[in-house]
């Protein structure tokens, strides 16, 4: 039984701690030169990032969804489909899909199609969104923020579970004996994670529903994170699940450079300038002050420091996957490429060596 | 002024009669062997068809949308994005997008993103759908069939025209100063066609709105088709447009083989078996009896007969693009490949020779 749940999520312990990249699809000028790529260049380079991530041996590549100025990932599914068609191994995922403002039927159709295109490499992460402008754009009310997520997420899970669906809800017309096509690769279910950040309620709900979580760790320390994940595990137990049996993914900053101090300084420069440019209060700059410590969840530094951090996190948190953001705030493509190369050469072999189960 | 409208549709007279392929994304067994590919194979071969079409020198490749049993193109946009990422020249289009049951904001986001991925090769064709099951599936009422199309199509055109949109309608919450992103490649507008089939009203509406048409010619003869298109041209004049200035695309069956009779027999076998399998009264088998005549709009036969038909159609109808369906009803991939090769070798050079303006 233990193995079943992992298989269902297409996670295999023999693979060790899975490492991946995510992009929020931001479109921001370089902080110093103020130069901006064209929108077409940026989108094409995100697709290339996915290809480079595969070549470097990363396990997964995720594309976020944003519908606002300074972002280019309004249509995360077409970007992911492009990566699916030009790669062979790497898993693909949204991160997150704002399911409350979408039609779960369309989301499932898109994701299942990408699963067929990629021979079974597609996953979904569903969140509620911190950026709220998209509610108005896509025709939903912020008053229904929680209820929309709950209803639509449940519906998505039902579509994934059954081929013929009967369903009634408040925010979408009912489905009566509707055939949901296409089905994912080999008639499997799509792995579907719930995105959580600070809310203990979100954790509890995910546990009660028996869905794996994708947890942003941006502004936490290791102990707080550990306690937070343990709430999820306890609640899984309470709900009758085997906690060790449910994969956990974490997500945060990732940046490597030859020297730890220089790497931290470089990346902080991008992050701060990016947040300044976005100028909304939900984008709070994260404190890089303690980033040099092995206990910091900001996975920035020399390759060996980042390896030490990831191994410590794996030991303490017992998670199955870490997904890092290397491209926020106008990072040049040369730097993106160098970072991916360094991760492939220096970080992945070490992390896999100590975490892969023989 | 004349040239302006063509440029806007990314059609260039110097290119002659444009030739393309469309697929409805059907998933049907071979009529004789009853063998079916896996869903994954069929979708991946549709993507390969787009690549082969480019290599053969075809101008455009279109993917239709269907949400029902025996079809795999529920998510036309992710399939098109995969083709965009793996080709360099060929134009891409939906054919059709059922805009009445979609959110035009999402459709525009998807299409503009594919336009950026492909450096400006994406187009849209919007129709009302003959297959009606998707209304229920996607949460709309068939009672609003006409009104949904009219409202959503108008909104899509507005999103294409302006970056910041104010809009109020009946079937979708309003847009107030909403920023619609991303914008298409080089800030151009996307070419957007209206799909028409039998209805003179559809023609008139398209003309009054000044949009180009995409006209299915399956069940017509040349004279009827000519008269039909002339209604569009007259109405364009009445509405103050220059008729010669508005591109017209036609769509129908396309199949070539060494001998005309054998080719016709082969393809009719697929078409009939496909319709039988679908078993709904909207799929009426088309009469192949007169397919050998140069006046038949069924573009099936030897390469030279198909060239003669296309040139005659171009002379009589004065259209700018023909898009053919070569894969309906379980056609094997070997046959699809052979047909595309023959079109590239024997049909395209001849058609271009006589239609391209120097």
**In this complex, is the C-beta atom of B168 within 8 Å of any C-beta atom belonging to chain A?**
no
What is the distance in angstroms between the Cα of A74 and the nearest Cα belonging to chain B? 6
What is the distance in angstroms between the Cα of A162 and the nearest Cα belonging to chain B? 15
**In this complex, is the C-beta atom of B83 within 8 Å of any C-beta atom belonging to chain A?**
yes
pLDDT in tens, A253-275: 999 998 999 999 999 999 999 99
Considering the domain boundaries, does residue B143 fall inside one?
yes
- Is the backbone peptide bond immediately before A41 cis, with ω within 30 degrees of 0? no
**In this complex, is the C-beta atom of B171 within 8 Å of any C-beta atom belonging to chain A?**
no
pLDDT in tens, A34-48: 999 999 999 999 999
Query: Minimal CA–CA distance to A285: which of A299, A295, A275, A296?
Result: A275
Position B354 scores a pLDDT of 96
Torsion of CA A198, A200, A205, A211, to 10 degrees: 60
Say yes or no for a CB contact (<8 Å) between A71 and B181: yes
Within 8 A by CB and 6+ apart from A41, the residues are none
Considering the domain boundaries, does residue A298 fall inside one?
yes
- For residue A89, pLDDT over 80 is answered with yes
Share of chain A above pLDDT 90, in %: 86
Position B282 scores a pLDDT of 64
- For residue A339, pLDDT over 70 is answered with yes
Q: Which residues is A123 bridged to in the sheet?
A: A93
Position A338 scores a pLDDT of 97
User: Distances from the Cα of B318 to the Cαs of B202, B220, B234, in angstroms?
Assistant: 19, 16, 14
Considering the domain boundaries, does residue B5 fall inside one?
no
Pick from B74, B110, B140: CB nearest A181: B74
Q: What is the DSSP letter of B296?
A: B
Pick from A75, A81, A178: CB nearest B109: A75
Considering the domain boundaries, does residue B3 fall inside one?
no
Position A115 scores a pLDDT of 98
Say yes or no for a CB contact (<8 Å) between B182 and A74: yes
d(CA A255, CA B215): 53
**In this complex, is the C-beta atom of A80 within 8 Å of any C-beta atom belonging to chain B?**
yes
Question: pLDDT band for position A284 (50/70/90)?
Answer: low
pLDDT in tens, B313-329: 999 999 999 999 999 99
Considering the domain boundaries, does residue A152 fall inside one?
yes
Position B3 scores a pLDDT of 44
- For residue A1, pLDDT over 70 is answered with no
Within 8 A by CB and 6+ apart from B261, the residues are B292
Q: Give the residue from A175, A181, A188 with the most B CB atoms within 10 Å of its CB, the best one to mutate.
A: A181
Q: What is the CATH number of the domain that holds A143?
A: 3.20.20.30
Task: Provide the strand spans (E) within B235-334.
Answer: 248-256, 299-301, 321-325
- For residue A5, pLDDT over 80 is answered with no
**In this complex, is the C-beta atom of A138 within 8 Å of any C-beta atom belonging to chain B?**
yes
**Which tokens sit at A79?**
């970007």
Given a contact cutoff of 8 angstroms between Cβ atoms, the answer to whether B310 and B297 are in contact is: no
**Which tokens sit at A29?**
């000028």
- For residue A214, pLDDT over 70 is answered with yes
d(CA A254, CA A238): 34
d(CA A10, CA A7): 5
d(CA A97, CA B106): 13
Given a contact cutoff of 8 angstroms between Cβ atoms, the answer to whether A172 and B139 are in contact is: yes
Position B1 scores a pLDDT of 37
Residues in chain B, overall count:
358
- For residue A3, pLDDT over 60 is answered with no
pLDDT in tens, B332-349: 999 999 999 999 999 999
Given a contact cutoff of 8 angstroms between Cβ atoms, the answer to whether B255 and B300 are in contact is: yes
**In this complex, is the C-beta atom of A340 within 8 Å of any C-beta atom belonging to chain B?**
no
Residues in chain A, overall count:
358
Q: What is the DSSP letter of B221?
A: B
Say yes or no for a CB contact (<8 Å) between A81 and B78: yes
Position A219 scores a pLDDT of 73
Torsion of CA B209, B213, B217, B219, to 10 degrees: -20
Search chain B and give the residue with CA nearest A85.
Answer: B82
**In this complex, is the C-beta atom of A341 within 8 Å of any C-beta atom belonging to chain B?**
no
Higher pLDDT, B7 or A54: A54
Higher pLDDT, A358 or B349: B349
Considering the domain boundaries, does residue A7 fall inside one?
no
Given a contact cutoff of 8 angstroms between Cβ atoms, the answer to whether A182 and A113 are in contact is: yes
Buried b / exposed e along B129-158 (16+ C-beta atoms within 10 A): bebebbbbbbebeeebbeebbbbbbebbbb
Q: Which residues is B175 bridged to in the sheet?
A: B167
**Number of domains chain A is built from:** 1
Say yes or no for a CB contact (<8 Å) between A74 and B139: no
Residue A163: Cβ within 10 Å count: 12
What is the distance in angstroms between the Cα of A299 and the nearest Cα belonging to chain B? 31
Angle of helix A145-161 versus helix A104-117 axis, rounded to 10: 40
Show the CA angle centred on residue B242, arms to residues B237 and B245, nearest 5°: 135
pLDDT in tens, B155-187: 999 999 999 999 999 999 999 999 999 999 999
**In this complex, is the C-beta atom of B154 within 8 Å of any C-beta atom belonging to chain A?**
no
Q: How many helices (H) and strands (E) does chain B have?
A: 12, 12
Domain range for B290 is: 13-355
Q: Which residues of chain B have pLDDT under 70?
A: 1-5, 280-285, 358
Pairing of strands A91-94, A122-127: parallel
User: Distances from the Cα of B245 to the Cαs of B7, B13, B298, B339, in angstroms?
Assistant: 10, 11, 27, 33
d(CA B226, CA B203): 13
Considering the domain boundaries, does residue B307 fall inside one?
yes
Considering the domain boundaries, does residue B7 fall inside one?
no
**In this complex, is the C-beta atom of A137 within 8 Å of any C-beta atom belonging to chain B?**
yes
- For residue A55, pLDDT over 80 is answered with yes
């Amino acid at each position: 039984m233990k193995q079943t749940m992992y298989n269902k999520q297409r996670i295999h312990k023999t693979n060790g701690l899975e490492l991946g990249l995510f992009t929020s699809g931001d479109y921001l000028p370089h902080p110093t030169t103020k130069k901006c790529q064209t929108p077409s260049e940026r989108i094409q380079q995100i697709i290339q990032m996915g290809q480079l991530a595969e070549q470097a041996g990363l396990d997964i590549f995720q594309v976020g969804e944003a519908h606002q100025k300074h972002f280019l990932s309004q249509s995360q599914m077409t970007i992911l489909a492009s990566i699916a068609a030009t790669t062979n191994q790497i898993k693909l995922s949204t991160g997150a899909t704002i399911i409350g403002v979408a039609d779960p039927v369309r989301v499932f159709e898109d994701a299942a199609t990408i699963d067929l295109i990629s021979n079974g490499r597609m996953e979904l992460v569903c969140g509620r969104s911190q950026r709220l402008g998209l509610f108005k754009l896509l025709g939903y009310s912020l008053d229904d923020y929680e209820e929309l997520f709950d209803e639509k997420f449940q519906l998505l899970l039902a579509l994934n579970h059954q081929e013929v669906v009967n369903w009634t809800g408040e925010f979408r017309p009912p489905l009566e004996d509707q055939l949901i096509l296409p089905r994912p690769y080999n008639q499997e279910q799509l792995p579907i994670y719930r995105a959580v950040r600070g809310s203990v309620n979100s954790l509890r709900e995910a546990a009660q529903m028996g869905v794996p979580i994708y947890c942003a760790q941006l502004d936490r320390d290791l102990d707080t994170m550990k306690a937070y994940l343990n709430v999820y595990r306890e609640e899984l137990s309470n709900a009758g699940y085997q906690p060790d049996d449910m994969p956990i993914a974490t997500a945060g900053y990732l940046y490597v450079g030859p020297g730890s101090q220089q790497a931290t300084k470089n990346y902080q420069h991008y992050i701060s300038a990016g947040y300044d440019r976005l100028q909304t209060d939900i984008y709070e700059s994260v404190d890089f002050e303690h980033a040099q410590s092995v206990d910091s969840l900001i996975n920035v530094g020399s390759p060996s420091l980042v390896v030490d951090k990831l191994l410590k996190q794996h030991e303490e948190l017992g998670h199955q996957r870490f997904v890092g953001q290397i491209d926020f705030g106008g990072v040049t493509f040369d730097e993106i490429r160098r970072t991916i190369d360094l991760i492939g050469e220096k970080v992945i072999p070490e992390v896999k060596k100590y975490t892969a189960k023989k």
